[in-house]
Amino acid sequence: MATTISSPSSVFPTTNNAFRAYGLDGVTTGFFNQSSADTVYGGFTSLSIPSGATINGIEVIVHASSNSTLLRVVLHDGTSYSSLRATNGLPGKTLATVDPCWGSSSDLWGLSWTPATAAALILRFDWSTLTSGKVIRFDHIQIRVTFTAAASA
């Protein structure tokens, strides 16, 4: 099995400096009790998955800090959304990397993936669990896709 990894290059909405999660640079986002609008990351364009490959699993890696571990995410494959996933664990108030925070090398999130849909996936953060006083800051978000290349003739 092989892996490929990518950071996002697009986000909607851009509130709370959400674009700061594009790179590991020590400059963070700031999501505080943000329950009104989910944040959607896309543009994971440096995922390199060969045509004909079988997708084995998808992982979300974060470099973050939080005083809440209730954050949930979903993935979108271009047609359907996965079910909401609770975090595998977020760090405390000091920035740390959680690898993976969601998913695994064998977790397809209940969706059917092709190389094209995996390369165009969307990651949505659900803020509805951030109750009063809860804070999450991201410095970096990445997607890692594990795949098996197609057998050559």
Q: Where are the alpha helices (DSSP H) in 13-121?
A: 115-119
* N-term to C-term CA, the chain: 18
pLDDT at 102: 92
Q: Which residues of 81-118 are buried (b: 16+ CB within 10 A; e: fewer)?
A: ebeebebeebbeeebbebebbbbeeebbbebebbbebb
pLDDT of residue 66: 83
Average pLDDT value over all residues in the chain: 88
- pLDDT digit string (tens) for 53-105? 999 999 999 998 888 667 889 999 999 999 998 876 777 778 888 899 899 99
